[in-house]
Structure 1
Amino acid sequence: MSRFKLPPKGKKATKPEEAAPLSFDDIVDEAINMEEKGDRYVDGDKARRFYERSCELYAQAVAMNPEHDPLYNRGRLLLLLAEFRNPPYRPSECRGLLESSVNCLRRAAELEPTNTDTLFNLAQALRTSAEHLFSIDGQEPLAIAVAEEACALLEKVFALQSEAYQRNPVDSAGSEPQPGVSTQQLPQDGDKIEESLESVTAIQSVTKDTLIDTLVAWAETLSLRSSFCSDYASCMHFHSVAMEKLKLSEALGIEPARLSLRCADALSTLADTLASNEVEPTTAAEYFKQSLALVQRALEIEPSSVEALCDKGDILWSFLAFQIKYGGSEAEIRTAFADVVNSYTSAFQLESQNAEICAKLGDAQLYRILLYPSPEQQKTREVLVGNAILYYKRALAISETRIDAIRTCLHMGKAASQIPERDMECREAMIMWKKKGGKLVNGIFSGTDEDIPVDFSPATKASPWFQQLLVILQSV
């Protein structure tokens, strides 16, 4: 029997009414609704899809009426997506998101050149862009120019905020602004109230916390700028200015643990820069130690701070690489590795569903294999390989995002290849790596981390299945 019914005789079939096009206000309301849904999920595929949909709606709003608010909110959300970690975008996609974010926020800033929210977010987008650009060969001069523009914008933001704070000091933070609503200035004397009410959507006082947040962002951007320097004097100049901003935040009442972590971050960045440029290695070692002391101070204040524990592990890892490069003793290096693992393990015990920490634990076990090269140390190597594979499998089970999975599967394959009896696990890991989108780019496996200098074993490289994999990858 047919599922379709013919219209009664004598009557014409009617077409369904077309939905009326959405108005500008309707589109903005729906964009705000989508962002709020993304906020409820925080991260994951659903959150990202809601944020992406919100961006699309704001793009429609901008096309209808290119005013400040939709431009600002689209630029802000594009920056959020560029920095999204779970699931992350490809590096080329991140750069595209950042470029679009900067363009939107620039246009918004041209419409309201003293809107501190807009200028602050533009500075953050520029800072992240500079970080991406500096990793691309030949883009270093552009990265420096972009970072300096971000610093100049934050200087302007702080000046505007300081002026507003002096006019109306507020010691405690006010209510949080609603999504999709930007902070704007009060109407000036002589302005028409009716016109002002049409443009002002929310008012938020400048507090000490506001000033502190700007100073911290300014210090972080200056610290990034110092990492772009190749000579000692320039590096120290930008670092010193960054520390001045953090000192000023201390005068405004920044939380001691937060101050310690931000100062530790600035010092470890300086140490990394000096070490990578092979400038003042003795001084670099001292800065690493000072940085670790500051993180330890933060942990004494907040023993359960996952951020502090991860920062400690990251700094210890950088210091470890420094010791290996400059001939640290075998005992010192093994102790340092144990400290790295202990820091990440403590963090993982507090956040057992954190895939990033889990993957770091796998990396630490994988790197430690290099310390036990002799045949007599085979049992130790087997334990380390087993631990690494367990952590990588756990990381994949927690958050199997495509880009993270490519890296994790590759490292799992490299770990398994170190033990002949685990050849099948190595093969399975590489099959999974390829299914996740792994490729061979200029002879390098996608997902390769230069900070983990462990390669496939000679036996694995010579095996028929591995040679066949190379042929397939090279033919693509």
Structure 2
Amino acid sequence: MHIMKKSSGNSKHSSSKDKKKTPSKEVATPQTWEEYMEEGVLLEEKGERYATGDKARRYYEKAGDMYNKACKLNPEDSDCLYNFGRVLYILVDFTHSPCQKLSLLNASIDRFRSALTYDSDNADTLFNLAQALTTHAEVIQDHDEEDEDEEHDHEHKHGDNDPYQGGSPEERAALELQEAISLFESCYSIQQRDLYDAVHDAKVQEDQEDQEEKPKDLVDQEKQELSNSAGVLIDTLISASQALTSLAFLVETVERSQGYYKEAAKKLEIALGVANDKMLWPSVAEEGSSSSKGKDKGKPVVAEVLGDGEDDVAPAIRPVSTFREAESKSDTVSQKEKICDIHLQYSNLLTSRTDRHFQDTGKVSESLYEKSLQHLDVVLDHQPRHVEALCDKGDLLGSWAQGLATFEKGVTPGMKGLENWDSASGSGIQLGTSDVIAEEPSAMPDGSMKGNRPARIWQLFASATRAFLTALEVEPQNTSILEKLGDIHWSRSLLSSSVAIKNRDMLLNNASVYYRYAWESCRDGSVENVDDEQRLEILLSWAQVLRAIPGKEEDIQRVLRQWKRCGGTKDMLMELLGGDAGDILQEDFVEFALKQVRKL
């Protein structure tokens, strides 16, 4: 979650405007408005030092309590309302409960709205209100109907000022996104004016004074202030693009959807222009500012992706980091990092368009997959160990492969008959052999892969696996990456091509190993950003893989017992059978698990 604070405006770990008032030591017993504000700032800074975990959460909660008391003493102070709203927004990251998230977001939005009442042109408040509305729109679409009913009850009791009560979650989300986009536009106008003023002042000073007579530290400071302002403007454009992308996927008509996608792309084009303006980044080497690298030039991305898929699958090993993080990170706004952020959003936009295109037409658009992949490769050219880009690449390639391996009706075959699978006869699962509808049967320039869909699917999955493994080298205890590796090895084991059949035993074993590592990394519940739902999902996926491996009956029972001890119920399995079990869990396995759980 991105938080903009008052001093620098580009990071939730930077200081707010009121942190300039920080005293040399803590106030023992706050009594006045100023003392409550100072204590809130001190507590918030302690939360920032811990970043994540229970200690950070407790400090943020205490800071929120101080700001709340300060607001009661002076309810019309915009800085106090802003700080309180921002801390409430930060606390959203510390809960997995949709109802708690929505409650915090409602309170945060209310404080930001109040702050704008007294300071309507504050760019930071405009930005954060827009972010909170965007996050609220995401959450109300994701949580269960039961949680939605509870939230409606909460809103009627505590949120009567919410203008978006009533209507379906999608309708409410669309309205919130539209308001967020308008707020981002207002924020951008203010930041653009400030940036133009700063550039004008810099040019005037350059004309009037001899730069060599200025102290170097002062010159560097002025340059960095200009880069900081440019970075803030880029953040706003990226966030506006994200909101437009979400709205484009949400609206019903194709025409409106395409219009919003175009607007989202325009924001990123403007952002790239700012990122490549030498006047705004005077201290950066010229070769570091190219945004077209990998986008329009060089070897076609798909040729690289499909050209070297391995035939044999290497066994899974315990992940150990081979990458040393920098001991300290600079707060300096980096042009290279901003360019990476822009291309990440370009990729997200194109991935969303790919999903929307399939939803509207039932066809796989390989050209959109290619373009999205090219933007990720720009990021990885700049930062080869960029974990988010690597995971996005793995997800994209996996989705691409899955799209090609899906039957025309878009339904993945079940696992019926798996226990009778015979590698010699090749009977059983027949995933990936149908003539799938696709806009472009072959993305290879020379046509060498044309008509060989199983080979392309295998190589896309292999490239996706490599991307996740590279990300795992950087973050070897990342539960989500380990789970992704389990998922992708399982998906590859279902393919019916000769190379998949040859490697099926290794693929199943690897899937089991990665699910086990994922479970070991989060089983005590201490891992951040891993909720009970994900832990239960890992255990079910692991049990499903074990069922496909002969002689694992006792292990299956052990994993399912653990799943039940962690809160898994028969009702949950019934819900999976009644709805969509997802891309990984197969209906046949869910039926099997339900029978087994009833015996436990």
- Tell me the TM-score normalized by structure 1: 0.77
- Aligned partner of 2:124 in structure 1 is 117
The answer to whether the 8 Å contact 2:486/2:510 transfers is no
Cα pair distance change 1:74/1:423, threshold 3 Å: farther
Match in the other structure for 1:392:
518
Aligned partner of 2:389 in structure 1 is 308
Distance in 1, matches of 2:559 and 2:65, equals: 37
C-alpha contact 2:489 2:508 (8 A) present in aligned 1: no
CA distance in 2, matches of 1:301, 1:124: 27
Among candidates 67, 75, 80, match of residue 70 of structure 1: 80
Of the candidates 97, 101, 108, which is equivalent to residue 94 of structure 1? 101
Quote how far apart the aligned CAs of 1:158 are: 0.6
Does structure 1 residue 128 correspond to structure 2 residue 135? Answer: yes
Q: Which amino acid aligns with 1:387?
A: V
Separation in 2, partners of 1:239, 1:367: 31
- Alpha carbons of 1:59 and 1:216: their partners in 2 closer, same or farther (altered >3 Å)? same
Structure 2 matches for 1:335-354, cutoff 5 A? 335-354=459-478
Deviations 1:83-137, CA, capped at 9 Å, x for gaps? x2xx641223222222222112111122211111001000001111112233467
Change (3 A) 1:428 1:25: farther
Query: Is 1:416 paired with 2:423?
Result: no
- What residue number does 1:187 align with? none
Alpha-carbon distance change, 426 to 57 in structure 1, aligned in 2, over 3 angstroms: farther
**Residue type at the aligned position of 1:261:** L
Q: Does 2:563 match 1:433? A: yes
Pair 1:154 & 2:154 matched:
no
Residue number among 320, 340, 345 corresponding to 2:401 in the alignment: 320
1:208 aligns with 2:230: yes
* Distance change (3 Å), C-alpha of 1:462 and 1:305: closer
Amino acid at match of 1:365: H
Distance in 2 (CA, whole Å) between partners of 1:303 and 1:229 is 36
Q: Are the counterparts in 1 of residues 516 and 542 from structure 2 also a CA contact under 8 Å?
A: no
Residues of 2 paired with 1:372 and 1:395: CA distance?
A: 32
**Is the CA contact (8 Å cut-off) linking 1:324 and 1:333 kept in structure 2?**
yes
> Where does residue 486 of structure 2 map in the other structure?
362
- Residue 39 of structure 2 is aligned to residue 30 of structure 1: yes
Match of 1:271 among 354, 364, 368: 354
Query: Larger deviation: 247-256 or 132-141?
Result: 132-141
Q: What corresponds to 1:80 in structure 2?
A: 90
Q: How far does the alpha carbon of each residue in 1:367-420 deviate from its partner, in whole angstroms, 9 at most, with x for none?
A: 334336999987346424433333323432682754343333333333333335
* 1:220-278 alpha-carbon deviations (Å, 9 max, x no partner): 11111111133332221111111111111111125443332221121111111211333
CA displacement 1:131-160 (0-9 Å, x = unmatched): 223346731111111100000000011111
> In the superposition, relative to structure 1, how do residues 72 and 406 fare at CA in structure 2: closer, same or farther (>3 Å)?
farther
Matches for 1:120-269 after TM superposition, within 5 Å? 120-135=127-142, 138-169=168-199, 207-253=229-275, 255=336, 256-269=339-352
Distance in 1 (CA, whole Å) between partners of 2:233 and 2:84 is 24
Query: In structure 2, what is the Cα distance between the partners aligned to 1:76 and 1:132?
Result: 18
For 2:237 and 2:517, the matched residues in 1 are separated by 38
TM-score (norm 2): 0.62
Distance change (3 Å), C-alpha of 1:45 and 1:331: farther
Closer/same/farther in 2, CA of residues 147 and 169 from structure 1, 3 Å limit: same
1:457 and 2:581 correspond = no
Return 5+ residue gaps in structure 1 as ranges.
1-18, 173-203, 470-476
Q: Give the CA deviation at 1:449.
A: 6.6
Partner Cα distance (1:57, 1:420) in 2: 60
Q: CA deviation at 1:332?
A: 2.7
Match of 1:175 in 2: none
| Separation in 1, partners of 2:174, 2:597 | 42
Q: Name the structure 2 match of 1:473.
A: none
Cα distance in 1 for partners of 2:378, 2:551 equals 45
Task: Decide whether the 8 Å contact of 1:317 with 1:337 is kept in 2.
Answer: yes
Secondary structure in structure 2 of the residue aligned to 1:252: helix
Letter in 1 for 2:514: A
**Normalized per residue, which structure has more helix?**
1
Q: Distance in 1 between matches of 2:258 and 2:589?
A: 42
In structure 2, the CA distance between the partners of 1:407 and 1:63, relative to structure 1 (3 Å rule), is farther
Q: Contact 1:412 / 1:429 at 8 angstroms: preserved in 2?
A: yes
**Please, which of 422, 443, 448 is the counterpart of residue 574 of structure 2?**
443
Letter in 2 for 1:231: T
Instruction: Report the identity percentage.
Output: 27
Query: Which of the residues 51, 55, 76 maps onto 1:42?
Result: 51
Indicate how the Cα distance of structure 1 residues 362 and 91 shifts in structure 2: closer, same or farther if over 3 A, else same: farther
Q: Deviations over 1:179-225 (max 9, x none)?
A: xxxxxxxxxxxxxxxxxxxxxxxxx9872222111111111111111
CA apart distance, 1:441: 4.5
- 1:363: Cα distance to partner? 2.3
The amino acid across from 1:393 in the alignment is W
Q: Deviations over 1:291-324 (max 9, x none)?
A: 1122122222322222221121122233233223
Q: 1:171 to 1:78 in 2, by over 3 A?
A: farther
Distance 1:157 1:243 in 2: 18
Q: Is the 8 A contact 2:546 2:556 kept in 1?
A: yes
Quick check: 1:31–1:53 contact (8 Å CA) kept in 2? yes
Contact kept? 2:401, 2:458, Cα under 8 Å: no
Query: How far off its partner does 1:438 sit?
Result: 3.6
Which residue in the other structure is 1:333 paired with? 457
What is residue 177 of structure 1 aligned with on the other side? Answer: none
2: distance between equivalents of 1:90 and 1:445?
20
- Aligned position for 2:60: 51
Structure 2 stretches lacking a partner, 5+ long = 1-27, 146-167, 203-224, 277-335, 409-434, 437-452
> 1:48 Cα deviation (Å)?
2.4
8 A contact 1:388–1:415 mirrored in 2: no
Does the C-alpha gap of structure 1 residues 31 and 405 become closer, same or farther in structure 2, counting only changes over 3 Å?
A: farther
The 1:96–1:434 alpha-carbon spacing in structure 2 relative to 1, beyond 3 Å, is: farther
What's the offset of the Cα at 1:29? 2.6
Cα distance in structure 2, aligned partners of 1:248 and 1:323: 34
Q: Mean alpha-carbon deviation: is it higher for 243-252 or for 133-142? A: 133-142
